[in-house]
Every structure is written in structure tokens, then in C-alpha cells.
Amino acid sequence: RKEVEQDPGPFNVPEGATVAFNCTYSNSASQSFFWYRQDCRKEPKLLMSVYSSGNEDGRFTAQLNRASQYISLLIRDSKLSDSATYLCVVLPAYGGSQGNLIFGKGTKLSVKP
């Protein structure tokens, strides 16, 4: 089983749609969780951290379920500018490299007019 698994998509949605991405991770001792966004041929950029209590940043909502080892990202009222690849990222527990971010393959989102 891969350490971080995501549906690769692509997700093709119209402007204004609500879209949800899911991610599962295998290491139950993982300590921190993130969503990064990566535009074509660019570097990943931090979109938001993910907390057990859930967190929201404008149109974006992230949720973490530690019991199910499941992370989600919800994007409401999609904009054309949301088109990108969304990377689910996990920071493992102490014991290994503390900076070793583990990335999923990414889910590609394409928002159409």
C-alpha cells in the first residue's frame, strides 16, 4: 500500500461547482497534514494545513479523520484559477526524518467556463 494515496483525476468541473478531493495515508503515527497546490511546471505551494477539528479558508475546507486515516479538501464555487494539481501531503511521526514530507501523486482539477 502506498504511503499517501489520492484519486489522480482529472476532475473536470464547470465554474461555480463544488468539488471534493480525498486522500488516505498508511502511517497511523503521522503527525501533520497539508494540501499543496501545484500549477503546471511550477513548484508546489502550501494551500492549507489540515487539523482534526477541520479548518476553512474562504472557499476551501479541509478535514482530517485520524481514525480512518483520511484527509479531504472541499472547494466551493470553483473558479477558473483553481485549475491545478492538488497534492495531499503527510509529515511522518518522529523517528525518521522530521522534514520528510510524503506526497501523494496529486489530483488534477480543471475548471471550465
Partner 1 sequence: DAGVTQSPTHLIKTRGQQVTLRCSPISGHKSVSWYQQVLGQGPQFIFQYYEKEERGRGNFPDRFSARQFPNYSSELNVNALLLGDSALYLCASSRGLSDTQYFGPGTRLTVL
Question: Which residues contact partner 1 (rule: CB under 8 A)?
Answer: 4, 31-32, 34, 41-46, 49, 87, 89, 91, 96-106
Q: Nearer Cβ to partner 1, position 52 or 98?
A: 98
CA distances from 92 to 42, 53, 108 (A): 25, 19, 24
Determine the 3-state secondary structure of 36 from DSSP.
strand
Q: Nearer Cβ to partner 1, position 20 or 46?
A: 46
Query: Residue 96 has what DSSP assignment?
Result: B
Q: Nearer Cβ to partner 1, position 4 or 111?
A: 4
CB of 44 to partner 1, least distance (A): 5
Q: Are 11 and 107 in contact (CB under 8 A)?
A: yes
